[in-house]
Amino acid sequence: MERTETREELIYSLQNKATDLRRKIIELAVIAGGGHLGGALSAIDLLVVLYYHILRIDPKNPRWEERDRFILSKGHGALALCPVLADRGFFPEELLATFNRLDSPFGMHPDRNKVPGVEMSTGSLGHGLGVAIGVALSGRLDRANWRVYCLLGDGECHEGSVWEAAMAAAHYKLGNLCAIVDRNMFCIDGPTEKIMALEPFKRKWEAFGWNAIEVDGHDFSQLIDVFESLPPVTSPVPTVVIAKTIKGKGVSFMEGQGAWHYGGLDSEKERRALEDIERLRPKSKLRS
Amino acid sequence: MAEGISYTVYELYKDLTQTEVYGQTLVELAKKDERIVALTADLARSTKIGVFFDAFPERAFNFGVAEQNMMAAAAGFAISGKLPYVSTFAVFASMRTAEFVRTDIAYPNLPVRIIATHAGVSFGQAGTTHHCTEDLGILRTMANMTIVVPADSIETAQFVKASVDWPGPLYCRIGRGLEPLAYLEEDYGFKIGKSVLMRDGKDLTVIACGVAVLPACEVADELTGEGISLRVINMHTIKPIDREAVIKAAEETKGIITAEEHNIIGGLGSAVAEVLAEAGLATRFRRLGIPDVYSVIGYPEDLYHRYGIDYEGLLRAVKEMLGMETKGEQ
């Protein structure tokens, strides 16, 4: 019989997994000839806590009716999502070797008709939350108890359609919807607050009628607490988790550097990146 | 009224606009099919989908004046196994939300049914901001998209029934007014992608869609008395276009005129021209429609007359192509 995992063990295993996946993101960016590294590394801890602890999914049956739905509204996070889906067993990891190549199922933005486990084809910003509204309303119509999670970028929240969706989620009382914003403080051209200010960001969501929670997007203890204690799906208020993250998290020369929104790695940079990432690996497995 | 008309059908449809027929037909279908949901953006009354909202309030969703979010949500319903029917004005369905239709619906090939009302110049007095003479051109370039322009209320009902089991996305454009019926019965074998031979003839062919179909038929009937046989094809499906019917018309008649409530660029006329050119068929050819200008303000009938897609305009165009004398009307 499986032994109950302690909280320390859980945090250890998630941190360890996140380290593995950060390495895979770097390796995939090398295969792909470049990628959205900054936003992949800022979002990966969120994806790890969701895909390895929170989401009810069945990789062998990607369209299982009772699954939780995850929509990557910041579609340029495919560099992070695809290795996660491969590692969870939605498809063989070797397939990622074709990334960005002619006729590959995998590119900078995910395609639901080509990649098992991808709920919606995304890439153009400001679409995913609206799609999630339709999914959440459908779930309510079917009296389902699964939840819809939707990960947005912070720069994405410049799009007016995000706020159309925010209004609708509150209007339709979609407690089965959880938006997550990867608040890494950067859009392509620079800091969000310099390009087009989003603050006071939390208050904006609250004013739109959302239950808004701020969290350190790289602290697994906090992330576990927040996602484990979301209001029930029948609650009348949608929740947004504003995850404060660091663009390029884990790689010293990328952290907080807007220029690493998209970039490529030569072998020296790849070596240094992997070296940095190893430093995030938790030291030793705690035993109960 | 012609001989052989089914009075029941005529009575059923004669006092209903296309939009009313759409709403009522959808309500009937939704009684049997729980997948059907209806979406609008503060135009439930104007698009006449309000009857669905009354009949199935729990399956009807108003998104307020926010069309982009409505289209995205329609995609969300579709990936969740629902059959969303989205109703708004054509100008918003095709342009305000174009990238949402393309990226969220057409690209993933989802079974969303976009019912675009007040299309063409059918909302004439509302002015150019509310006319939509570009949608066919825009939607035609979206892969996976099927585009239907019913000729009247009877065809609208046939389309709505046929739409339920259509696998991919659909864009259907209808008018708003009480247009006279082009058909006399329901059982003419409507099939998405297959044109309808309204009148057979050998001299010329008019390929029409929407409000231009009935006047084309009337011109054909009129010219019969002058010994001219005019073929009239109702090309209700703009994409995929019925290539065979176009090629036959080019081979069997001496010229083709297209007629549509749309810019002559990008719509039915362009689609027919593409078929002709690729088939290597040279024939006399003319496109009737809005001549690449912004349509002016006016009542729809006056605008149909101005742009030559009413009875007089079509008669004149046919006679010109046949080299017959025409009266000196504008």
Element (H, E) at B198: strand B196-199
B103-134 pLDDT, tens digit each: 999 999 999 999 999 999 999 999 999 999 99
Task: Please give, rounded to a whole number of angstroms, the shortest distance from the CA of A174 to a CA of chain B.
Answer: 13
Mean pLDDT of chain B: 94
Residue with more model confidence, A196 or B44: A196
Distance (Å, rounded) from C-alpha B13 to C-alpha A15?
Answer: 66
Quick check: B1 pLDDT over 50?
Answer: no
Q: Which residues on B lie below 8 Å from A160 (Cβ)?
A: 68
Angle at B119 between CA B114 and CA B122, to 5 degrees: 150
Please name the residues in contact with B195: beta carbons below 8 A apart, sequence gap of 6 or more.
B207, B233, B234, B235, B236, B237, B242, B245
- Best B40, B69, B70 residue to mutate vs chain A (most A CBs within 10 Å): B69
pLDDT at residue number B6? 56
For residue A236, CA distances in Å to A127, A140, A242, A288 come to: 23, 12, 19, 39
What's the pLDDT at A4?
Answer: 78
Length of chain B: 330
B8: confidence class by pLDDT, cuts 50, 70, 90: low
Number of residues written out for chain A: 288
Name the H helices within chain B.
7-13, 18-32, 50-55, 67-78, 90-91, 98-100, 135-140, 153-163, 213-224, 243-252, 268-278, 300-306, 311-322
Task: Give me the DSSP letters along A223-265.
Answer: HHHHHHTPPPTTSSS-EEEEEE--TTTT-TTTTT-GGGGSB--
Chain A positions touching B70 (Cβ under 8 A) are 130
How many CA atoms within 13 Å lie on the side-chain side of A50?
A: 26
pLDDT attached to residue B2: 44
Find chain B residues with C-beta within 8 A of A139's C-beta: 80
Strand partners, B194: B191
Q: In this structure, are residues A154 and A184 in contact, taking their beta carbons and an 8 Å threshold? A: yes
Give the Cα separation of A194 and A213 in Å (integer): 24
| B8 vs B193, residue with greater confidence | B193
Q: Quick one: pLDDT at residue A94?
A: 97
Q: Which of A65, A148, A161, A167 to mutate to test binding with chain B, by most B CBs within 10 Å of its CB?
A: A161
B135-145: average pLDDT: 98
**8 Å CB contact between B242 and B258:** no
Partner residue opposite A130 with nearest CB, options B69, B79, B108: B69
Cβ neighbours of B82 in A, within 8 Å: 134, 138, 141
C-alpha to C-alpha distance for A47 and A217, rounded to whole angstroms: 10
How much is the pLDDT for B135?
98
State the nearest Cα–Cα gap between B25 and chain A, in angstroms: 22
Q: What is the mean pLDDT of residues B290-307?
A: 97
Strands A148-153 vs A177-183: parallel, antiparallel or unpaired:
parallel
**Segments of chain A with pLDDT less than 70:** 1-2, 285-288
pLDDT for B165-209, tens place per residue? 999 999 999 998 788 899 988 999 999 999 999 999 999 999 999
* CB-CB under 8 Å, B59 with A164: no
A positions 133-172 inside 8 Å of B (CB)? 133-139, 141-142, 160-161, 164-165, 167-168, 171-172
* Alpha-carbon span A118 to A133, nearest angstrom: 17
**pTM for this prediction:** 0.95
Instruction: State the DSSP string of A108-168.
Output: SS--TTTSTT--S---STT-HHHHHHHHHHHHHHTT----EEEEEETGGGGSHHHHHHHHH
ipTM score for this prediction: 0.95
For residue A35, report the phi and psi dihedrals to the nearest 5 degrees: 180, 175
* pLDDT digits 0-9 by tens, B233-280: 999 999 999 999 999 999 999 999 999 999 999 999 999 999 999 999
Structure-derived torsion over alpha carbons of residues A127, A133, A135, A140, reported in degrees to the nearest 10: 180
Residue B47: closest CA among B70, B79, B69, B31: B70
Q: Tokens 């936003």: give the residue.
A: A39
For B204, half-sphere exposure in the C-beta direction (CA atoms, 13 angstrom radius) is: 28
For residues B9 and B25, the model is more confident at B25
Do the Cβ atoms of B59 and A168 come within 8 Å?
Answer: no
Joined tokens for residue B73: 């949500």
C-alpha–C-alpha distance, residues B221 and B228, integer Å: 9
Alpha carbons B329 and B317: distance in angstroms, whole number = 12
pLDDT on residue B329: 47
Alpha carbon separation from B36 to A125, A135, B117, B163 (Å, rounded): 28, 14, 19, 11
Question: Of B62 and B2, which is predicted with more confidence?
Answer: B62
Contact B100 A167 (CB under 8 A): no
Taking CA–CA distances from A65, the nearest residue in chain B reads: B80
Sheet of B255-263: strands edge to edge? B196-199, B230-234, B204-208, B255-263, B284-290
3-class state of residue B288 by DSSP? strand
Say if CB B176 and CB B124 are below 8 A apart: no
Decide if pLDDT at B3 tops 90: no
- When CB atoms are compared, the residue of B68, B79, B107 closest to A130 is B68
Contacts of A147 in chain B (CB under 8 A): none
Q: List the Cα angle B39/B45/B51 in 5-degree steps.
A: 70
What pLDDT was estimated at residue B327? 60
Measured from the Cβ of residue B135, the count of other Cβ atoms closer than 10 Å reads 27
Residues 5-44, chain A: which have Cβ within 8 Å of B?
A: none
